[in-house]
Amino acid sequence: MVKSLSRNDLIPIGEMARRTGLSVSAIRFYEDRGLIEPVRTSGNQRRFLRSDLRRVSFIRIAQQLGLSLGEIDSAMRDLPHGRTPNARDWRVISASIRDRIESRIAELERMRDRLDGCIGCGCLSLKKCAIFNPEDRLASEGPGPRQILID
Amino acid sequence: MVKSLSRNDLIPIGEMARRTGLSVSAIRFYEDRGLIEPVRTSGNQRRFLRSDLRRVSFIRIAQQLGLSLGEIDSAMRDLPHGRTPNARDWRVISASIRDRIESRIAELERMRDRLDGCIGCGCLSLKKCAIFNPEDRLASEGPGPRQILID
DNA sequence: GCTTGATCTCAAGTTAGGTTGAGATTGCAT
DNA sequence: ATGCAATCTCAACCTAACTTGAGATCAAGC
């Protein structure tokens, strides 16, 4: 039995916005970036499938969890058939997201501990403080964003 | 006894870059932003004081710890005489930075826990999952960046 | 005095993730 | 059939934190 596509299953962009909490322009932007591919009416207006609601929610969540749109795109493209993530996919993806969160937490904790050490050490002598004395240890990676502190 | 300013204490921008690990253009950019104020030679070249090394290091560290240039600017301007932060100033500033780091860690931990709950809950039913079901709860704050997940 | 590397200014470009606006169409309800 | 809200495209703008490039000038060694 093939499900017929009821009119109600074709969602215009404004309703998508309302239902996902995103702005219309953001949704268009995601289409530009290849994250969603709505169909078009004869008059060229976007119409989204129900599954796009889930897809867009997924984007929103993954983003909130710290992934860039590019990373989200790859995550979704890695799925078989480029389908909308289902429960099993979600478990796989979220496990990897979890790892990222954990590392970020660990990184911040290291930073906090370093900072604590620095507060306590009567720092700023500029001779012994690792956090406050970058001379002669960096400036060797060329231009662009750099890593700054030494672990 | 007034210390005389030896020639060696006037540092050209290239050497600043070498010694702080920043790029020349970044240092110029910080001057634009009012974070440092080098003196100029008769030929209009920048010359930095030794204390600027510390000042620039401070910028770098605070930035690494998550402050924006604007915040760093205010932090330094809050100091008496807009002087380069000394040990006591550093303790005050770093305590507030520490708070920021702590909140960020707490935020990530909440996120991780929420994610764990979602992985475990056999989610994606789209009926009961708070993380995956944004309908009818948001989209009421107008345009611009939004808060996404509900705590 | 000349050359060479360092520096100067100023404008424009970059990335991410969008927003805003203009001007033209579409689509649904009456 | 018409009116009005929703939608369309495309270009320009936005913030942060810089980088890059062009064309000019400076400083220092020989």
pLDDT in tens, chain A (151 residues): 565 555 568 999 999 999 999 999 999 999 999 999 999 999 999 999 998 988 898 888 888 777 899 988 888 887 765 566 667 777 777 787 788 888 888 888 887 887 777 665 545 433 445 555 544 333 333 333 333 332 2
**Distance from C-alpha of A69 to C-alpha of A55, rounded to nearest angstrom:** 13
Answer yes or no: is B15 CB < 7 A from strand C.
yes
> Å from A84 (CA) to C9 (C1')?
52
Q: Which of B104, B131, B146 is nearest residue A21 as measured by Cβ atoms?
A: B146
Q: Is the dihedral of CA B91, B96, B101, B106 positive or negative?
A: positive
> Å from A45 (CA) to C26 (C1')?
8
Q: What are A46's strand-pairing partners?
A: A40
Contact A32, A20 (CB under 8 A): no
Angstrom distances, CA of residue B56 to CA of A1, A143, B66, B97, B146: 70, 17, 15, 17, 34
**From the CB of residue B37, how many other CB atoms can be counted at a distance below 10 Å?**
13
Q: Is A110 helix (H, G, I), strand (E, B) or coil?
A: helix
**Distance from C-alpha of A103 to C-alpha of B22, rounded to nearest angstrom:** 26
Is the CB of residue B20 less than 8 Å away from at least one CB of chain A? yes
Model pLDDT, residue A1: 59
Confidence (pTM): 0.73
Of A148, A102, A117, nearest to B115 by C-alpha is A102
> Å from B33 (CA) to C19 (C1')?
25
Is the CB of residue A92 less than 8 Å away from at least one CB of chain B? no
Report the chain B residue with the minimal C-alpha distance to residue A119: B91
Model pLDDT, residue A143: 33
Report the chain A residue with the minimal C-alpha distance to residue B144: A23
For residue B57, list chain A residues with Cβ-Cβ distance below 8 A: 132-134
Q: Which residues contact B98 (CB under 8 A, 6 or more apart)?
A: A112, A115, A116, A119
Q: Which residues of B102-112 are buried (b: 16+ CB within 10 A; e: fewer)?
A: eebbeebeebb
Q: Which of A111, A136, A149 to mutate to test the interface with B (most CBs of B within 10 A)?
A: A111
Is B108's CB within 8 Å of A109's CB?
no
Contact B55, B62 (CB under 8 A): no
Residues of chain B with pLDDT under 50: 122, 124-128, 134-151
Of A97, A63, A114, A140, nearest to B64 by C-alpha is A114
**B2 secondary structure, DSSP code:** P
Is the CB of residue A120 less than 8 Å away from at least one CB of chain B? no
Long-range contacts of A107-113 (CB under 8 A, 24+ apart): A108/B101, A108/B104, A108/B105, A108/B108, A109/B105, A110/A151, A111/A149, A111/B64, A111/B65, A111/B101, A112/B98, A112/B101, A112/B102, A112/B105
**Distance from C-alpha of B108 to C-alpha of B115, rounded to nearest angstrom:** 10
Model pLDDT, residue B134: 47
Q: Which amino acid belongs to residue B115?
A: L
B100, with CB counted inside 10 A (0-12, 13-18, 19+), is: middle
Task: State phi, psi for A16 to the nearest 5 degrees.
Answer: -55, -45
Model pLDDT, residue A119: 63
Give chain A's count of helices (H) and strands (E): 5, 3
Model pLDDT, residue B119: 63
Of B13, B53, B81, B115, nearest to A62 by C-alpha is B115
Q: Could you say which nucleotides of strand C lie within 7 A of any protein CB atom?
A: 6-9, 16-20, 25-27
**Distance from C-alpha of B93 to C-alpha of A137, rounded to nearest angstrom:** 25
